[in-house]
Structure 1
Amino acid sequence: MEISVSNLVRQEKYKLLIGSVVPRPIAWITSLSSNGVVNAAPFSYFNVACIDPMMISVAVARRPGGVMKDTARNIRETGEFVINMVDVHNVDAVNQTSADYPGDVSEAEELGLTQLPSAAVKVPRLGESRIHFECRLHQIVTLGEPIASDLIIGEVVHVHVDDELYVDGKIDIEKLKPVSRLAGLTYATIGEWFDRPRPTYEPK
């Protein structure tokens, strides 16, 4: 099948992208509004952006009319956020925070999530997660015309990792049991693992 993007409506583009670019890691982001409301929300347009300095990227789609979501607005205003990683133990709570809460209502408070102090930022981290990346805003890039998404690039300034997950300087994936996002209402765990040695180029 050949698909001309110019012939697709927004929903068709959305379904094609989220059904093809899988699995996607989930950033469970806590942020703080200028009024002190703790926001918690998941985003699956999330990945590593740079190693040194440590940076991550998260794209936050805008609401109809180009209105910023609470998370993006909070990060723009305060310059800080925390990414709480998602696993099989917290995925139900993560899913609950995806509801469309009003901006003046804290998902963390409503759901009784455990708010822990961070080391380098004012935004609290969530005790239901076992890996936390404290971040300071590096840059926001607006995408689309009219604006349809905010690409947030954050610099990681402090990391918390549960002791049992950190073995010989690496994260034990089997113990972490991460959860990723697929399309529709579907999430996924890690399936079969396999290795491939990295090849070396040898001139003929």
Structure 2
Amino acid sequence: MDQLSRKEAYKLLSGSIVPRPIAFITSLSKEHVVNAAPFSFFNVISGHPPLIAVSIGRREGQMKDTAQHIIDRKEFVVHVSDEGMIEDINQTAATLPQEESELDRTGLHQVKSHVVSVPGIKEARIRFECQLEKHLTFQNDEGEITVDHIIGRVVCAHLDESVYDAEKGYVFTNELKPVARLAGNDYAHLGTPFVLKRPE
């Protein structure tokens, strides 16, 4: 890996570790501008306590708006990206001035959160209100910070009844229709699930 450039290493890893779920994150600036952006270096890391994590790469050494807002406000909202929202979500990946909200480029609507001050997205069928649990940074061999790793504690979950059986605690992934990130501009649908029983 030491022989690869930064771009080559990224392409190798992001093209190999697939599919990846996409966290669509809303955060709130100090000026109360809602920031929205998708991130695919994302996953759940614990059920108890309920923790999810997202890694946000820096751009030329500068922290991205999402990471900065989360660190400043210590809260954010994560939405599960699905087929119904993915076109709008993709529009929020554009680089805009801090005073502009990416949501203005979409047909998505804000909804008030129950616990945190950051609004969520009304159209999302699953969203998690999160408080910042831990912020970690990672450096390259030259000592430059290249990644902000955000661990969030889920303090409130919203699941639409069309994708969740509250009595049994089941999420209907076929109804959710999540979208996954591959490499480059490539994405993937869920595909056909299959069952494997775990050995005793």
TM-score by length of 1: 0.93
3-state SS in 1 of match to 2:174: helix
1:82 and 2:43 correspond? no
3-state SS in 1 of match to 2:148: strand
Aligned counterparts of 1:158 and 1:77: Cα–Cα separation in 2: 20
Does the Cα contact within 8 Å between 2:29 and 2:69 map onto a contact in 1?
yes
- Other-structure match for 2:110: 115
1:23 and 2:16 correspond? no
After TM superposition, the runs of 4+ consecutive aligned structure 1 residues lying more than 3 A away are none
Number of corresponding residues = 195
1:150 and 2:148 correspond? yes
- Other-structure match for 1:135: 130
1:33 and 2:29 correspond? yes
Deviates more, 1:70-79 or 1:184-193: 184-193
3-state SS in 1 of match to 2:124: coil
**By how many angstroms is 1:111 displaced?**
2.6
Structure 1, gaps ≥5 residues long: none
> Which has the higher Rg, Structure 1 or Structure 2?
1
- Other-structure match for 1:182: 182
**By how many angstroms is 1:192 displaced?**
2.0
TM-score by length of 2: 0.95
CA RMSD across the alignment: 0.9
3-state SS in 1 of match to 2:69: helix
Aligned counterparts of 2:41 and 2:56: Cα–Cα separation in 1: 7
- Matched to 1:9, the amino acid is S
Aligned counterparts of 1:68 and 1:104: Cα–Cα separation in 2: 16
- Matched to 2:38, the amino acid is P
1:12 and 2:8 correspond? yes
**By how many angstroms is 1:110 displaced?**
3.8
Map 1:24-103 → 2, pairs under 5 A? 24-64=20-60, 66-103=61-98
3-state SS in 1 of match to 2:184: coil
